[in-house]
Chain A
Amino acid sequence: MNNVALGQYMPLDSVVHKMDPRSKIMIMLFLMVAIFIPAGVLGYVIIGIFILLSLYLSKLNVKYALRTMKPMLWMMAFLLVINLLVIKTGTPLFSIKGFTIYSDAVNQTLYIVVRLMLMVIITTVLTATTKPLDLTLGIEKLLKPFEKVGVPAHIIAMIISIALRFIPTLIEETQRIMNAQASRGVDLENGSIKEKIMAILSLIVPLFVSAFDRADQLANAMEARGYDPSRKRTRYKVLKMQTIDYASMILSVFVLCACIGIWVL
Protein backbone atom coordinates (compact mmCIF):
# COMPACT_ATOMS: atom_id res chain seq x y z
CA MET A 1 0.00 0.00 0.00
CA ASN A 2 2.98 2.27 0.51
CA ASN A 3 3.80 2.30 -3.14
CA VAL A 4 0.65 4.10 -4.20
CA ALA A 5 1.66 7.00 -6.39
CA LEU A 6 -0.54 9.44 -8.19
CA GLY A 7 -0.79 8.58 -11.88
CA GLN A 8 1.44 5.53 -11.32
CA TYR A 9 4.90 6.61 -12.42
CA MET A 10 6.80 3.79 -14.18
CA PRO A 11 10.54 4.06 -13.62
CA LEU A 12 11.86 3.06 -17.05
CA ASP A 13 14.74 4.36 -19.10
CA SER A 14 13.34 5.80 -22.30
CA VAL A 15 13.51 8.90 -24.48
CA VAL A 16 10.07 9.96 -23.34
CA HIS A 17 11.11 9.68 -19.68
CA LYS A 18 14.02 12.02 -20.32
CA MET A 19 11.90 14.65 -22.03
CA ASP A 20 11.14 17.97 -20.41
CA PRO A 21 7.83 17.84 -18.48
CA ARG A 22 6.84 21.19 -19.99
CA SER A 23 6.96 19.88 -23.53
CA LYS A 24 5.11 16.73 -22.51
CA ILE A 25 2.31 18.76 -20.93
CA MET A 26 2.09 21.01 -24.01
CA ILE A 27 1.95 18.00 -26.35
CA MET A 28 -0.83 16.53 -24.24
CA LEU A 29 -2.78 19.77 -24.49
CA PHE A 30 -2.30 19.96 -28.29
CA LEU A 31 -3.45 16.37 -28.71
CA MET A 32 -6.44 16.85 -26.41
CA VAL A 33 -7.59 19.73 -28.60
CA ALA A 34 -6.92 17.66 -31.73
CA ILE A 35 -9.00 14.77 -30.37
CA PHE A 36 -12.00 17.06 -29.96
CA ILE A 37 -11.83 18.33 -33.54
CA PRO A 38 -14.32 16.40 -35.68
CA ALA A 39 -11.78 15.37 -38.29
CA GLY A 40 -13.35 12.01 -39.02
CA VAL A 41 -11.61 8.67 -39.37
CA LEU A 42 -8.50 10.14 -41.00
CA GLY A 43 -8.00 12.56 -38.08
CA TYR A 44 -8.16 9.76 -35.55
CA VAL A 45 -5.76 7.65 -37.59
CA ILE A 46 -3.21 10.51 -37.54
CA ILE A 47 -3.62 11.10 -33.81
CA GLY A 48 -3.61 7.36 -33.20
CA ILE A 49 -0.30 6.90 -35.02
CA PHE A 50 1.27 9.71 -32.98
CA ILE A 51 0.01 8.28 -29.71
CA LEU A 52 1.05 4.71 -30.54
CA LEU A 53 4.49 6.06 -31.47
CA SER A 54 4.82 7.80 -28.11
CA LEU A 55 3.63 4.65 -26.34
CA TYR A 56 6.27 2.65 -28.21
CA LEU A 57 9.05 5.18 -27.52
CA SER A 58 8.19 5.34 -23.81
CA LYS A 59 8.82 1.56 -23.58
CA LEU A 60 5.59 1.20 -21.65
CA ASN A 61 3.93 -2.15 -21.60
CA VAL A 62 0.91 -2.15 -23.96
CA LYS A 63 -0.87 -4.44 -21.52
CA TYR A 64 -0.34 -1.83 -18.84
CA ALA A 65 -1.82 0.89 -21.03
CA LEU A 66 -4.83 -1.31 -21.75
CA ARG A 67 -5.27 -2.06 -18.07
CA THR A 68 -5.72 1.62 -17.31
CA MET A 69 -8.70 1.45 -19.67
CA LYS A 70 -10.52 -1.08 -17.48
CA PRO A 71 -12.37 1.41 -15.29
CA MET A 72 -13.59 3.11 -18.49
CA LEU A 73 -15.31 -0.01 -19.83
CA TRP A 74 -18.52 0.55 -17.90
CA MET A 75 -18.68 4.13 -19.04
CA MET A 76 -18.18 3.04 -22.64
CA ALA A 77 -20.93 0.41 -22.34
CA PHE A 78 -23.25 3.00 -20.84
CA LEU A 79 -22.54 5.44 -23.69
CA LEU A 80 -23.18 2.70 -26.22
CA VAL A 81 -26.62 1.91 -24.78
CA ILE A 82 -27.63 5.57 -24.54
CA ASN A 83 -26.52 6.28 -28.09
CA LEU A 84 -28.32 3.23 -29.50
CA LEU A 85 -31.52 4.36 -27.82
CA VAL A 86 -31.33 8.04 -28.66
CA ILE A 87 -29.83 8.42 -32.14
CA LYS A 88 -32.37 7.67 -34.85
CA THR A 89 -30.65 9.01 -37.96
CA GLY A 90 -28.70 7.37 -40.78
CA THR A 91 -29.62 4.10 -42.41
CA PRO A 92 -31.37 1.46 -40.33
CA LEU A 93 -28.94 -1.43 -39.91
CA PHE A 94 -31.06 -4.14 -38.33
CA SER A 95 -33.87 -4.44 -35.86
CA ILE A 96 -34.51 -6.65 -32.86
CA LYS A 97 -38.16 -7.12 -31.89
CA GLY A 98 -39.24 -3.89 -33.57
CA PHE A 99 -36.34 -1.87 -32.13
CA THR A 100 -34.22 -0.51 -34.97
CA ILE A 101 -30.52 0.24 -34.68
CA TYR A 102 -29.29 3.03 -36.92
CA SER A 103 -25.85 3.41 -38.50
CA ASP A 104 -25.27 6.88 -37.03
CA ALA A 105 -25.73 5.53 -33.52
CA VAL A 106 -23.01 2.94 -34.09
CA ASN A 107 -20.70 5.52 -35.72
CA GLN A 108 -21.23 8.06 -32.96
CA THR A 109 -20.53 5.51 -30.27
CA LEU A 110 -17.38 4.34 -31.99
CA TYR A 111 -16.13 7.92 -32.21
CA ILE A 112 -16.70 8.50 -28.50
CA VAL A 113 -15.05 5.23 -27.56
CA VAL A 114 -12.01 6.00 -29.73
CA ARG A 115 -11.77 9.51 -28.29
CA LEU A 116 -11.90 8.24 -24.73
CA MET A 117 -9.31 5.57 -25.44
CA LEU A 118 -6.93 8.04 -27.05
CA MET A 119 -7.30 10.46 -24.15
CA VAL A 120 -6.69 7.78 -21.54
CA ILE A 121 -3.59 6.53 -23.35
CA ILE A 122 -2.13 10.01 -23.77
CA THR A 123 -2.58 10.89 -20.07
CA THR A 124 -1.21 7.49 -19.09
CA VAL A 125 1.91 8.10 -21.15
CA LEU A 126 2.34 11.49 -19.49
CA THR A 127 1.93 10.34 -15.89
CA ALA A 128 3.79 7.06 -16.35
CA THR A 129 6.86 8.74 -17.83
CA THR A 130 7.00 11.85 -15.60
CA LYS A 131 7.70 11.90 -11.88
CA PRO A 132 4.94 13.73 -9.99
CA LEU A 133 7.41 16.33 -8.80
CA ASP A 134 8.71 17.03 -12.31
CA LEU A 135 5.12 17.36 -13.42
CA THR A 136 4.56 19.92 -10.68
CA LEU A 137 7.67 21.81 -11.70
CA GLY A 138 6.50 21.74 -15.33
CA ILE A 139 3.09 23.13 -14.35
CA GLU A 140 4.78 25.82 -12.29
CA LYS A 141 7.02 26.92 -15.17
CA LEU A 142 4.14 26.88 -17.64
CA LEU A 143 2.00 28.99 -15.29
CA LYS A 144 4.86 31.46 -14.74
CA PRO A 145 3.71 33.93 -17.43
CA PHE A 146 0.31 34.07 -15.73
CA GLU A 147 1.90 35.28 -12.47
CA LYS A 148 1.60 38.80 -13.84
CA VAL A 149 -2.18 38.50 -13.81
CA GLY A 150 -2.20 37.18 -10.26
CA VAL A 151 -1.87 33.39 -10.66
CA PRO A 152 0.33 32.26 -7.74
CA ALA A 153 2.26 29.67 -9.79
CA HIS A 154 4.90 28.69 -7.24
CA ILE A 155 2.37 28.51 -4.40
CA ILE A 156 0.19 26.17 -6.47
CA ALA A 157 3.26 24.05 -7.22
CA MET A 158 4.27 23.99 -3.54
CA ILE A 159 0.76 22.88 -2.54
CA ILE A 160 0.74 20.07 -5.10
CA SER A 161 4.21 18.83 -4.22
CA ILE A 162 3.50 18.80 -0.46
CA ALA A 163 0.22 16.97 -1.10
CA LEU A 164 2.12 14.37 -3.16
CA ARG A 165 4.84 14.13 -0.52
CA PHE A 166 2.29 13.36 2.22
CA ILE A 167 0.17 10.78 0.37
CA PRO A 168 2.30 7.80 1.53
CA THR A 169 2.61 9.26 5.04
CA LEU A 170 -1.15 9.63 5.37
CA ILE A 171 -1.77 6.14 3.97
CA GLU A 172 0.59 4.78 6.62
CA GLU A 173 -1.27 6.77 9.25
CA THR A 174 -4.65 5.46 8.02
CA GLN A 175 -3.37 1.92 8.26
CA ARG A 176 -2.13 2.54 11.78
CA ILE A 177 -5.43 4.05 12.94
CA MET A 178 -7.35 1.18 11.29
CA ASN A 179 -5.25 -1.32 13.22
CA ALA A 180 -5.61 0.64 16.45
CA GLN A 181 -9.40 0.83 16.06
CA ALA A 182 -9.65 -2.83 15.03
CA SER A 183 -7.78 -3.79 18.18
CA ARG A 184 -10.43 -1.87 20.13
CA GLY A 185 -13.16 -3.89 18.46
CA VAL A 186 -14.19 -1.59 15.62
CA ASP A 187 -15.34 -3.66 12.66
CA LEU A 188 -14.72 -1.82 9.42
CA GLU A 189 -15.94 -4.55 7.09
CA ASN A 190 -19.13 -6.07 8.47
CA GLY A 191 -22.36 -4.71 9.87
CA SER A 192 -25.28 -2.56 8.78
CA ILE A 193 -24.83 0.73 6.94
CA LYS A 194 -25.28 2.67 10.17
CA GLU A 195 -22.64 0.59 11.93
CA LYS A 196 -20.29 1.00 9.00
CA ILE A 197 -20.71 4.77 9.02
CA MET A 198 -19.88 4.83 12.73
CA ALA A 199 -16.84 2.64 12.10
CA ILE A 200 -15.60 4.91 9.33
CA LEU A 201 -16.15 7.96 11.55
CA SER A 202 -13.85 6.37 14.11
CA LEU A 203 -11.24 6.29 11.37
CA ILE A 204 -11.79 9.71 9.82
CA VAL A 205 -11.91 11.80 13.00
CA PRO A 206 -8.48 10.80 14.35
CA LEU A 207 -7.06 10.98 10.82
CA PHE A 208 -8.22 14.59 10.46
CA VAL A 209 -6.96 15.54 13.90
CA SER A 210 -3.53 14.16 13.14
CA ALA A 211 -3.46 15.68 9.65
CA PHE A 212 -4.11 19.15 11.06
CA ASP A 213 -1.48 18.59 13.71
CA ARG A 214 0.98 17.56 11.01
CA ALA A 215 0.10 20.60 8.91
CA ASP A 216 0.78 22.85 11.87
CA GLN A 217 4.17 21.29 12.56
CA LEU A 218 5.08 21.31 8.87
CA ALA A 219 4.20 25.01 8.63
CA ASN A 220 6.46 25.69 11.62
CA ALA A 221 9.31 23.71 10.06
CA MET A 222 8.94 25.51 6.74
CA GLU A 223 8.86 28.91 8.39
CA ALA A 224 11.85 28.10 10.58
CA ARG A 225 13.79 27.18 7.45
CA GLY A 226 13.13 30.60 6.00
CA TYR A 227 10.19 29.88 3.71
CA ASP A 228 8.12 32.92 2.90
CA PRO A 229 5.75 32.61 -0.06
CA SER A 230 5.90 36.34 -0.75
CA ARG A 231 9.67 36.33 -1.20
CA LYS A 232 11.78 35.38 -4.17
CA ARG A 233 13.26 31.88 -4.09
CA THR A 234 15.81 30.14 -6.24
CA ARG A 235 15.15 26.60 -7.48
CA TYR A 236 17.29 23.50 -7.12
CA LYS A 237 15.87 21.64 -10.09
CA VAL A 238 16.15 23.23 -13.52
CA LEU A 239 14.35 22.12 -16.64
CA LYS A 240 16.13 21.91 -19.94
CA MET A 241 14.57 21.61 -23.38
CA GLN A 242 16.39 19.36 -25.82
CA THR A 243 16.10 18.69 -29.54
CA ILE A 244 13.67 15.84 -28.95
CA ASP A 245 11.40 18.21 -27.01
CA TYR A 246 11.25 20.73 -29.83
CA ALA A 247 10.92 18.03 -32.47
CA SER A 248 8.05 16.25 -30.77
CA MET A 249 6.27 19.50 -29.99
CA ILE A 250 6.48 20.55 -33.64
CA LEU A 251 5.20 17.14 -34.66
CA SER A 252 2.24 17.41 -32.29
CA VAL A 253 1.44 20.87 -33.65
CA PHE A 254 1.46 19.29 -37.14
CA VAL A 255 -1.01 16.67 -35.95
CA LEU A 256 -3.23 19.42 -34.57
CA CYS A 257 -2.97 21.45 -37.81
CA ALA A 258 -3.73 18.37 -39.91
CA CYS A 259 -6.89 17.74 -37.89
CA ILE A 260 -7.98 21.36 -38.24
CA GLY A 261 -7.21 21.20 -41.95
CA ILE A 262 -9.31 18.07 -42.50
CA TRP A 263 -12.17 19.59 -40.54
CA VAL A 264 -12.16 22.93 -42.38
CA LEU A 265 -11.63 21.61 -45.92
Chain B
Amino acid sequence: MEAIEVSHLTFSYDGKNDILKDVSFSIPKGSYTTIIGHNGSGKSTMAKLIIGLLEAKKGKIQILGQELNEESVYELRSHIGIVFQNPDNQFIGSTVADDIAFGLENHCVEQEKMQGIIEDVAGRVGMTDFLSAEPTKLSGGQKQRVAIAGILAIEPNIIIFDESTSMLDPQGKASINAQIRKLHEEKNITILSITHDMEEVAQSENVIVLENGEIAMQGTPMDIFKQEDKLAKMQLDIPFGLKISKELKKRGIFKENVCRLDEVVEKLCRLK
Protein backbone atom coordinates (compact mmCIF):
# COMPACT_ATOMS: atom_id res chain seq x y z
CA MET B 1 0.00 0.00 0.00
CA GLU B 2 1.38 3.36 -1.05
CA ALA B 3 1.03 6.55 0.98
CA ILE B 4 -0.29 8.51 -1.95
CA GLU B 5 -1.39 7.07 -5.24
CA VAL B 6 -2.52 9.42 -7.98
CA SER B 7 -3.95 7.91 -11.14
CA HIS B 8 -4.95 9.64 -14.37
CA LEU B 9 -5.66 12.91 -12.61
CA THR B 10 -7.01 15.74 -14.72
CA PHE B 11 -8.00 19.11 -13.34
CA SER B 12 -8.99 22.54 -14.60
CA TYR B 13 -10.19 25.68 -12.83
CA ASP B 14 -12.32 27.01 -15.67
CA GLY B 15 -13.41 23.79 -17.38
CA LYS B 16 -11.40 24.59 -20.53
CA ASN B 17 -7.68 24.82 -19.85
CA ASP B 18 -6.42 21.75 -18.06
CA ILE B 19 -3.91 22.61 -15.34
CA LEU B 20 -3.12 18.93 -14.79
CA LYS B 21 -3.34 16.48 -17.67
CA ASP B 22 -3.66 12.77 -16.94
CA VAL B 23 -1.05 12.74 -14.18
CA SER B 24 -0.19 9.44 -12.48
CA PHE B 25 2.40 8.74 -9.81
CA SER B 26 2.72 6.98 -6.51
CA ILE B 27 4.57 7.87 -3.36
CA PRO B 28 5.74 5.04 -1.11
CA LYS B 29 5.26 5.18 2.65
CA GLY B 30 8.01 6.87 4.60
CA SER B 31 9.63 8.37 1.51
CA TYR B 32 10.67 11.95 0.88
CA THR B 33 9.52 13.24 -2.49
CA THR B 34 9.87 16.69 -3.97
CA ILE B 35 7.83 18.11 -6.82
CA ILE B 36 9.50 20.81 -8.87
CA GLY B 37 8.43 22.74 -11.91
CA HIS B 38 8.19 26.18 -13.41
CA ASN B 39 5.48 28.59 -12.18
CA GLY B 40 2.11 27.53 -13.51
CA SER B 41 3.16 23.93 -14.00
CA GLY B 42 0.41 22.76 -11.66
CA LYS B 43 2.48 22.01 -8.56
CA SER B 44 0.37 23.83 -5.98
CA THR B 45 -2.85 22.65 -7.60
CA MET B 46 -1.56 19.13 -7.06
CA ALA B 47 -1.12 19.78 -3.34
CA LYS B 48 -4.62 21.22 -3.00
CA LEU B 49 -6.08 18.19 -4.78
CA ILE B 50 -4.28 15.74 -2.50
CA ILE B 51 -5.47 17.51 0.65
CA GLY B 52 -9.00 17.65 -0.77
CA LEU B 53 -9.37 21.43 -1.07
CA LEU B 54 -10.06 21.01 -4.78
CA GLU B 55 -11.92 18.24 -6.55
CA ALA B 56 -10.50 16.51 -9.61
CA LYS B 57 -12.29 16.51 -12.94
CA LYS B 58 -11.11 13.03 -13.83
CA GLY B 59 -8.98 10.36 -12.20
CA LYS B 60 -8.62 9.43 -8.56
CA ILE B 61 -6.40 9.94 -5.57
CA GLN B 62 -5.84 7.24 -2.99
CA ILE B 63 -4.38 8.09 0.37
CA LEU B 64 -3.17 5.20 2.51
CA GLY B 65 -5.20 2.90 0.32
CA GLN B 66 -8.42 4.83 0.78
CA GLU B 67 -10.01 6.77 -2.05
CA LEU B 68 -10.29 10.49 -1.48
CA ASN B 69 -13.87 11.68 -1.89
CA GLU B 70 -16.41 13.85 -0.10
CA GLU B 71 -17.17 11.22 2.53
CA SER B 72 -13.60 10.23 3.33
CA VAL B 73 -11.96 13.68 3.20
CA TYR B 74 -12.63 14.62 6.81
CA GLU B 75 -11.33 11.34 8.17
CA LEU B 76 -8.29 11.40 5.88
CA ARG B 77 -7.35 14.88 7.08
CA SER B 78 -6.39 13.40 10.42
CA HIS B 79 -3.64 11.48 8.58
CA ILE B 80 -2.37 14.25 6.37
CA GLY B 81 -1.20 17.79 7.02
CA ILE B 82 -0.07 20.66 4.83
CA VAL B 83 2.23 23.62 5.43
CA PHE B 84 1.41 26.49 3.07
CA GLN B 85 3.59 29.21 1.61
CA ASN B 86 2.57 32.32 3.56
CA PRO B 87 3.46 31.97 7.26
CA ASP B 88 0.97 34.65 8.31
CA ASN B 89 -2.07 33.28 6.57
CA GLN B 90 -2.04 29.90 8.26
CA PHE B 91 -1.50 31.08 11.82
CA ILE B 92 -4.98 30.78 13.28
CA GLY B 93 -4.51 30.96 17.04
CA SER B 94 -3.58 34.16 18.84
CA THR B 95 -0.58 32.51 20.49
CA VAL B 96 1.72 29.63 19.54
CA ALA B 97 0.02 27.23 21.97
CA ASP B 98 -3.45 28.20 20.73
CA ASP B 99 -2.39 27.66 17.14
CA ILE B 100 -0.98 24.21 17.82
CA ALA B 101 -4.19 23.42 19.72
CA PHE B 102 -6.38 24.39 16.75
CA GLY B 103 -5.91 21.08 14.93
CA LEU B 104 -6.33 19.14 18.17
CA GLU B 105 -9.63 20.93 18.85
CA ASN B 106 -10.87 20.11 15.35
CA HIS B 107 -10.06 16.44 15.79
CA CYS B 108 -11.77 16.34 19.18
CA VAL B 109 -8.71 15.44 21.25
CA GLU B 110 -9.60 15.50 24.94
CA GLN B 111 -8.74 18.73 26.68
CA GLU B 112 -6.65 17.02 29.40
CA LYS B 113 -4.23 15.56 26.83
CA MET B 114 -3.70 18.79 24.87
CA GLN B 115 -1.10 20.52 27.05
CA GLY B 116 1.21 17.49 26.98
CA ILE B 117 0.95 17.10 23.21
CA ILE B 118 1.51 20.82 22.64
CA GLU B 119 4.65 20.86 24.78
CA ASP B 120 5.95 17.72 23.09
CA VAL B 121 5.55 18.93 19.51
CA ALA B 122 6.78 22.44 20.36
CA GLY B 123 9.92 20.77 21.68
CA ARG B 124 10.35 18.79 18.49
CA VAL B 125 10.40 21.96 16.39
CA GLY B 126 12.39 23.96 18.95
CA MET B 127 9.63 26.40 19.90
CA THR B 128 9.21 25.51 23.59
CA ASP B 129 10.24 28.97 24.75
CA PHE B 130 7.65 30.67 22.56
CA LEU B 131 4.46 28.87 23.59
CA SER B 132 2.75 32.04 24.81
CA ALA B 133 4.20 34.30 22.08
CA GLU B 134 1.94 36.15 19.67
CA PRO B 135 2.45 35.67 15.91
CA THR B 136 3.56 39.30 15.38
CA LYS B 137 6.54 38.64 17.65
CA LEU B 138 7.78 35.68 15.57
CA SER B 139 9.91 35.49 12.43
CA GLY B 140 8.66 33.81 9.27
CA GLY B 141 10.75 30.71 9.93
CA GLN B 142 9.44 30.45 13.49
CA LYS B 143 5.84 30.72 12.25
CA GLN B 144 6.46 27.93 9.75
CA ARG B 145 7.90 25.79 12.54
CA VAL B 146 4.73 26.42 14.54
CA ALA B 147 2.73 25.33 11.50
CA ILE B 148 4.77 22.10 11.40
CA ALA B 149 4.17 21.59 15.13
CA GLY B 150 0.42 22.08 14.63
CA ILE B 151 0.47 19.30 12.08
CA LEU B 152 2.71 16.98 14.10
CA ALA B 153 0.25 17.33 16.97
CA ILE B 154 -2.35 15.27 15.14
CA GLU B 155 0.25 12.55 14.43
CA PRO B 156 -0.09 12.48 10.66
CA ASN B 157 1.25 9.84 8.27
CA ILE B 158 1.84 12.33 5.49
CA ILE B 159 2.98 15.96 5.50
CA ILE B 160 2.83 18.13 2.40
CA PHE B 161 4.97 21.24 2.15
CA ASP B 162 3.61 23.67 -0.42
CA GLU B 163 6.49 26.07 -1.12
CA SER B 164 6.81 26.46 2.64
CA THR B 165 10.26 28.06 2.46
CA SER B 166 9.76 30.41 -0.48
CA MET B 167 8.83 33.43 1.66
CA LEU B 168 11.61 32.92 4.21
CA ASP B 169 15.07 34.43 4.51
CA PRO B 170 18.06 32.09 3.93
CA GLN B 171 18.35 31.37 7.66
CA GLY B 172 14.67 30.44 7.97
CA LYS B 173 14.90 28.39 4.80
CA ALA B 174 17.85 26.41 6.12
CA SER B 175 16.16 25.79 9.48
CA ILE B 176 12.96 24.51 7.85
CA ASN B 177 14.91 22.32 5.44
CA ALA B 178 16.82 20.85 8.39
CA GLN B 179 13.50 20.31 10.19
CA ILE B 180 12.08 18.43 7.21
CA ARG B 181 15.20 16.27 7.00
CA LYS B 182 14.93 15.52 10.71
CA LEU B 183 11.28 14.52 10.35
CA HIS B 184 12.18 12.24 7.49
CA GLU B 185 14.92 10.56 9.48
CA GLU B 186 13.27 10.17 12.87
CA LYS B 187 9.75 9.06 12.13
CA ASN B 188 7.86 7.17 9.53
CA ILE B 189 6.25 10.23 8.04
CA THR B 190 5.84 10.42 4.29
CA ILE B 191 6.98 13.81 3.05
CA LEU B 192 5.83 15.44 -0.15
CA SER B 193 7.39 18.82 -0.74
CA ILE B 194 6.57 21.23 -3.52
CA THR B 195 9.50 23.56 -3.88
CA HIS B 196 11.63 25.93 -5.91
CA ASP B 197 14.62 25.37 -3.69
CA MET B 198 17.10 23.07 -5.41
CA GLU B 199 19.05 22.57 -2.16
CA GLU B 200 15.93 20.97 -0.73
CA VAL B 201 15.46 18.82 -3.83
CA ALA B 202 19.01 17.55 -3.34
CA GLN B 203 18.16 16.25 0.13
CA SER B 204 15.07 14.33 -0.99
CA GLU B 205 14.84 10.73 -2.23
CA ASN B 206 12.58 11.11 -5.24
CA VAL B 207 11.88 13.99 -7.56
CA ILE B 208 8.90 14.59 -9.81
CA VAL B 209 9.30 17.32 -12.42
CA LEU B 210 6.05 18.83 -13.66
CA GLU B 211 5.78 20.84 -16.83
CA ASN B 212 2.53 22.25 -18.25
CA GLY B 213 0.49 19.86 -16.12
CA GLU B 214 2.36 16.74 -17.14
CA ILE B 215 5.14 14.74 -15.55
CA ALA B 216 8.28 15.60 -17.50
CA MET B 217 10.80 13.64 -15.43
CA GLN B 218 10.84 11.38 -12.42
CA GLY B 219 13.66 9.77 -10.47
CA THR B 220 16.30 10.30 -7.82
CA PRO B 221 17.80 13.80 -7.54
CA MET B 222 21.00 12.55 -9.20
CA ASP B 223 19.06 11.12 -12.17
CA ILE B 224 17.22 14.39 -12.63
CA PHE B 225 20.22 16.67 -12.27
CA LYS B 226 22.15 14.65 -14.85
CA GLN B 227 19.80 16.05 -17.46
CA GLU B 228 20.93 19.59 -16.94
CA ASP B 229 20.03 20.78 -20.42
CA LYS B 230 16.49 19.53 -20.13
CA LEU B 231 16.14 21.26 -16.77
CA ALA B 232 17.52 24.50 -18.16
CA LYS B 233 14.84 24.43 -20.86
CA MET B 234 12.24 24.36 -18.07
CA GLN B 235 14.06 27.25 -16.37
CA LEU B 236 15.20 25.03 -13.54
CA ASP B 237 18.66 25.17 -12.06
CA ILE B 238 20.85 22.51 -10.47
CA PRO B 239 21.87 22.86 -6.80
CA PHE B 240 24.95 24.82 -5.86
CA GLY B 241 26.61 21.77 -4.29
CA LEU B 242 26.35 19.83 -7.54
CA LYS B 243 27.78 22.74 -9.53
CA ILE B 244 30.87 22.77 -7.33
CA SER B 245 31.08 19.00 -7.40
CA LYS B 246 30.99 19.00 -11.20
CA GLU B 247 33.78 21.56 -11.43
CA LEU B 248 35.84 19.54 -8.99
CA LYS B 249 35.23 16.40 -11.02
CA LYS B 250 36.36 18.22 -14.18
CA ARG B 251 39.61 19.02 -12.42
CA GLY B 252 40.00 15.40 -11.34
CA ILE B 253 39.59 16.08 -7.63
CA PHE B 254 36.27 14.21 -7.28
CA LYS B 255 35.62 10.85 -8.87
CA GLU B 256 31.86 10.91 -8.24
CA ASN B 257 29.39 13.76 -8.25
CA VAL B 258 27.40 14.61 -5.12
CA CYS B 259 24.33 16.86 -4.87
CA ARG B 260 24.34 18.38 -1.42
CA LEU B 261 26.65 21.09 -0.30
CA ASP B 262 27.30 19.38 3.05
CA GLU B 263 28.32 16.22 1.19
CA VAL B 264 30.74 18.26 -0.91
CA VAL B 265 32.24 19.75 2.24
CA GLU B 266 32.52 16.36 3.87
CA LYS B 267 34.20 14.85 0.80
CA LEU B 268 36.63 17.75 0.57
CA CYS B 269 37.58 17.32 4.22
CA ARG B 270 38.38 13.67 3.67
CA LEU B 271 40.66 14.28 0.69
CA LYS B 272 44.22 13.31 1.22
Chain A residues at the B interface, C-beta cutoff of 8 Å: 2, 132-133, 161-162, 164-165, 168-169, 172, 214, 217-218, 220-228, 231-238
Contact = CB atoms under 8 A, between A and B. Distances in A.
Contacts, number: 89
Nearest to B82: A224
A235 B102 CA distance: 9
Contacts of A214: 86, 88-89
Contacts of A225: 77, 81, 92, 102-103, 106, 150-151
Contacts of B32: none
Contacts of B97: 236
Contacts of B94: 132-133, 161, 164-165
Contacts of A222: 92, 102
Given A225-B102, A236-B101, A236-B105, A217 B136 contact: no
Contacts of A162: 92
Nearest to B80: A224
Interface in B73-96: 74, 77-78, 81-82, 84, 86, 88-94
B63 to A, nearest CB: 13
B135 interface: yes
Interface stretch (B33-41, B109-117, B213-221): B109-117
Interface string B161-178: 000000000000000000
Q: Which of A220, A226, A233 has most chain B Cβ within 10 Å?
A: A226
A234 B135 contact: no
A131 to B, nearest CB: 8
B111 A236 contact: yes
Contact of B104 (A132, A165, A172, A234): A234
Contacts of A235: 105, 111
A164 B92 CA distance: 11
Nearest to A3: B136
Contacts of B51: 224
Contacts of B136: 2, 168-169, 172
A218 B89 contact: yes
Contact of A236 (B84, B98, B135, B151): B98
Contacts of A161: 94
A227 B53 contact: no
B117 to A, nearest CB: 10
Given A165-B135, A226-B77, 20 more contacts: A133-B94, A165-B92, A165-B93, A168-B134, A168-B136, A217-B86, A217-B90, A218-B90, A224-B51, A224-B77, A224-B81, A225-B102, A226-B78, A226-B107, A226-B154, A227-B102, A233-B105, A234-B111, A234-B114, A238-B111
Contact of A234 (B81, B91, B109): B109
A169 B90 CA distance: 12
B48 interface: yes
A238 B82 CA distance: 28
A168 B82 CA distance: 25
B108 interface: yes
Given A234-B105, A236-B105, A224 B111 contact: no
Contacts of B109: 234
B111 A217 contact: no
Contacts of B88: 169, 214
Nearest to B118: A236
Nearest to B77: A226
A205 to B, nearest CB: 20
Contacts of A223: 53
A225 B51 CA distance: 10
Contacts of B53: 220, 223-224
A219 B136 CA distance: 20
A239 to B, nearest CB: 12
B111 A220 contact: no
Given A233-B106, A234-B110, A236-B105, A228 B90 contact: no
Given A224-B53, A226-B77, A232 B89 contact: no
Enumerate the 9 nearest inter-chain pairs by beta-carbon distance, A residue then B residue, closest first. Answer: A236-B101, A221-B90, A226-B106, A217-B89, A225-B103, A168-B136, A226-B77, A233-B105, A224-B82
Given A165-B135, A217-B84, A221-B92, A228 B106 contact: yes
A169 B109 CA distance: 29
Nearest to A225: B103
